[in-house]
Structure 1
Amino acid sequence: MDTTTSACRLLTLIALSGECSTEVLSFMGISPSYGEKLITKLKDDNLIKTHYKDRLRGYRLTCTGKKLLLSQNPDRFCFYLSGNTDTNRPRSDYPRRLRLQQTSIVYSMLQNAGVTLFRDEKPMLFQPGNRNLQMLPLPSFYHSREIKELGAEAIKINNSRTIGILFAPKCIYAVFYTSDSLLKWEYRTELKVKTMLHYHISRGALGREYITPAYHPDTPIKALIIGSNMDTALKLLTSTGGYQKSYFYLDSSFDYFHYLPACSAGETMLRLLCSPKLMLSLIQLLLSDLQPPCPDYGLEHDAINDGLPVLLAFDFDMLRISRFCTALSFHEMSGCLICFDFQRSVLEQYFADTVTIETIDLNKFEGRFLN
């Protein structure tokens, strides 16, 4: 079986996630008409089946499909297609199925953004006794179940809502998927995720004696939240946590809360967030016509434009955006934001008339920096 075909890519996504969302076909660049033919062909070959329950439709591997993948690459698929696990024996209850499908969307975005996913292409950082110096390809993603190979130590973060950890140059992201609503959130648990990663950078599995390139002990641990669209970002920015603070709100569990939508624009942002050189080039370009920040303003900002404080908001760090909005209101000032064009509407609603907004054309950015 040709591993470069759409059929093989889809089978792989189903294997990694356990149950694949029907939406991943669009992330793979497959048109609805061809997608229908592809699904029909895979079903006729008895490689996949459709599971429909509680109005949720998804794709699962058949026994034949599992055997095919395992025979081709056991090192890649054995972890997912063996034992009594959600990826090998998916449950039928709605919350667990939904989480599997959300994971498939995240996997497809990460793969499109050039992130290393497969176990045969990255070191097994969290396996007990695996303590030789290993090359870590960056960026790389480790699913929460791979993190739990740490054993008893991982029990502390069992209730975390993170899908996994994305290792990028210069920083590490805890990745969450929130769909189009607020995700469940437990401050202490998510704080333990950050604490655990900091520990392993300095003294554990992520120490410089075990991986290269090594992370500095002060490496920032950031939250990366993926949602259905940019409208969800407004819900997150304005959330107070709901009853008993059981839903997401901007707290201090992480020092950064980046948001990106589940679409091609989000994949571009993902590439940007995983590339310090690309980020620096864009920042230098944006600041080239602006004045340096003024410490007398008493608020966090990146530059000055015609006397107004300017915030670079294109990386959509919600915590920083929130602080800027609060500071402008407190000082009764106006400001300026620079963001991508697809982020503008949400920021206009959040800031109202306190800021002017300049936008970066996403297509022009991709043409200049990514092609």
Structure 2
Amino acid sequence: MDPSTSAYQLLALTALSGECSPDAVSRLGIRPSYGEKLLTKLKEEGYIKTHYRDRLRGYRLTNKGKKLLLTDNPERFSFYLGGNTDTNRPRSDYPRRLRLQQASIVYAMLLHAGVTVFRDEKPPLFQPGNQECHRLPLPVFYSSREIKELGAEAVKINNSRTMGILFAPKCIYAVFYTGDSLMKWEYRTELKVKTMLNYHISHGVLNREHISPCYPPDTPIKALLIGTDMDTSLKLLTSTGGFQKSYFYLDTSFDYFHYLPAAPAGETLLQLLASPYLSAALRQLLLSDLQPPCPDYGLEHDAAANGIPVLLAFDFDMLRLSRFYTALSFHGLSGHIICFDFQKAVLQQYFGEAVTIETIDLQKFEGRFLH
């Protein structure tokens, strides 16, 4: 089977995740009508099978499908299709299946956004005994299971909700998938993820002796949350953590909490967040018609326009948005926000009459900066 075909890509995605969500198929750029025909064909040919239980439908590889991938590229797939692992022998309980399906959505978005994810295309950073100096093909993603190859050192983050770590130029993201609701959240556990990454930048597998380009000690380590749609971001922005603060709320475990939807717009934002040069170019363009920030306002902002503080919100850092909202309320000020058009409705709901909103046309941005 040709690796460039949609059929092969779908098999590969199923191998990476263990069980592919129907929602992940469209994230590969496959049209819904063709996706249905493709799935039917792969099932008829015996490469995948449908697994339906507890009202959750997913797709798994058959032995024939696994054999095809392992024969074609063992270096890429043996990690996922060997042993008693969740990706090789998926369990049937609902929570574990749901996590596998969520992973398939995240992987599909990463692949479609041009992020390196396959084992044969990236260095074995977290494997024991790894002492070589490797060049990172940025942006590159390592799943939580790959990070746990560190062994005993990674036990302290076993309960983290992170799907894995995205290494981008000049910053690092811990990636989470929250779906359409608040995910379970334990402050101390997620703080340990950041602490572990900080340690490895200075002394471990991420220091300058082991990787190039290297990360300086003050590299920002950010949280990147992916949800079903933009409506979910409002739940995250306004959450207080629920009973005993066991669900997500904006805390200080990370200094940045970016949000993007599992949609084409989210993939564009993912490309932007993974490229500091692209972000800087967009910021420069947006700030060119504005005045510099005014220290007299007593709040965090990027610029001023006609005496009003302006916040660039296209990166949808929820922690920064929350601080801006709180400061405007405290000082009794009005603000102005610049964001993408697909982010406007949620921000209008969150800020109410406290801000005016100016939007960036997503299609025009893609045409100018990504093509």
Normalising by the smaller structure, the TM-score range is over 0.9
The residue aligned with 1:116 is 116
Instruction: Write the distance in 2 (CA, Å) between the matches of 1:32 and 1:319.
Output: 35
CA-atom RMSD, angstroms? 0.6
Instruction: Write the distance in 2 (CA, Å) between the matches of 1:37 and 1:311.
Output: 46
- SS at 2:304 equivalent: strand
The residue aligned with 1:3 is 3
The residue aligned with 2:191 is 191
The residue aligned with 2:355 is 355
The residue aligned with 1:209 is 209
Instruction: Answer yes or no: is the 8 Å Cα contact 2:136–2:213 preserved in 1.
Output: yes
Instruction: Write the distance in 2 (CA, Å) between the matches of 1:289 and 1:218.
Output: 31
Matches within 5 A, 1:217-366: 217-366=217-366
Instruction: Write the distance in 2 (CA, Å) between the matches of 1:293 and 1:233.
Output: 27
Instruction: Answer yes or no: is the 8 Å Cα contact 2:19–2:87 preserved in 1.
Output: yes
**Equivalent AA in structure 1 for residue 234 of structure 2:** L
**Equivalent AA in structure 1 for residue 132 of structure 2:** N
Instruction: Write the distance in 1 (CA, Å) between the matches of 2:217 and 2:271.
Output: 24
Structure 2 residues not aligned, in runs of 5+: none
Counterpart check, 1:65 vs 2:60: no
- SS at 1:20 equivalent: coil
Report the alpha carbon displacement of residue 35 of structure 1 after superposing the two structures with TM.
1.6
Report the alpha carbon displacement of residue 296 of structure 1 after superposing the two structures with TM.
1.3
- SS at 1:58 equivalent: strand
TM-score by length of 1: 0.99
Instruction: Write the distance in 1 (CA, Å) between the matches of 2:255 and 2:204.
Output: 22
Report the alpha carbon displacement of residue 37 of structure 1 after superposing the two structures with TM.
1.6
Instruction: Write the distance in 2 (CA, Å) between the matches of 1:120 and 1:9.
Output: 15
Report the alpha carbon displacement of residue 39 of structure 1 after superposing the two structures with TM.
1.1
The residue aligned with 1:26 is 26
**Equivalent AA in structure 1 for residue 32 of structure 2:** P
Instruction: Write the distance in 1 (CA, Å) between the matches of 2:281 and 2:230.
Output: 25
Provide, for residues 199-236 of structure 1, a one-character-per-residue CA deviation record: whole Å limited to 9, x for no partner.
00000000100000000111000000000000000000
- SS at 2:235 equivalent: helix
Instruction: Write the distance in 2 (CA, Å) between the matches of 1:30 and 1:248.
Output: 32
- SS at 1:289 equivalent: coil
Report the alpha carbon displacement of residue 245 of structure 1 after superposing the two structures with TM.
0.4
The residue aligned with 2:159 is 159
Matches within 5 A, 1:48-87: 48-87=48-87
Instruction: Write the distance in 2 (CA, Å) between the matches of 1:86 and 1:233.
Output: 29
Report the alpha carbon displacement of residue 28 of structure 1 after superposing the two structures with TM.
2.1
TM-score by length of 2: 0.99
The residue aligned with 2:171 is 171
The residue aligned with 1:367 is 367
- SS at 1:75 equivalent: helix
- SS at 1:108 equivalent: helix
**Equivalent AA in structure 1 for residue 230 of structure 2:** M
Report the alpha carbon displacement of residue 26 of structure 1 after superposing the two structures with TM.
1.3
Provide, for residues 11-48 of structure 1, a one-character-per-residue CA deviation record: whole Å limited to 9, x for no partner.
00000000000112211222232222211111111110
Instruction: Write the distance in 1 (CA, Å) between the matches of 2:34 and 2:336.
Output: 45
- SS at 2:205 equivalent: coil
Instruction: Write the distance in 2 (CA, Å) between the matches of 1:172 and 1:25.
Output: 27
- SS at 1:182 equivalent: coil
Provide, for residues 326-348 of structure 1, a one-character-per-residue CA deviation record: whole Å limited to 9, x for no partner.
00000000010000000000000
Provide, for residues 288-346 of structure 1, a one-character-per-residue CA deviation record: whole Å limited to 9, x for no partner.
00000011111000000000000000100000000000000000000100000000000
Instruction: Write the distance in 1 (CA, Å) between the matches of 2:214 and 2:295.
Output: 34
Displacement over 6 Å in runs of 4+? none
- SS at 1:293 equivalent: coil
- SS at 1:23 equivalent: helix
- SS at 1:183 equivalent: coil
Instruction: Write the distance in 1 (CA, Å) between the matches of 2:294 and 2:32.
Output: 52
Instruction: Answer yes or no: is the 8 Å Cα contact 2:29–2:112 preserved in 1.
Output: no
Provide, for residues 158-193 of structure 1, a one-character-per-residue CA deviation record: whole Å limited to 9, x for no partner.
000000000000000000000000000000000000
- SS at 2:181 equivalent: coil
**Equivalent AA in structure 2 for residue 109 of structure 1:** M
Provide, for residues 75-120 of structure 1, a one-character-per-residue CA deviation record: whole Å limited to 9, x for no partner.
0000000011000000000000000000000000000110000000
Of all paired residues, the percent bearing the same amino acid is: 77
Instruction: Write the distance in 2 (CA, Å) between the matches of 1:265 and 1:31.
Output: 16
Instruction: Answer yes or no: is the 8 Å Cα contact 2:28–2:111 preserved in 1.
Output: no
How many residues of Structure 1 are paired with residues of Structure 2 in the alignment?
371
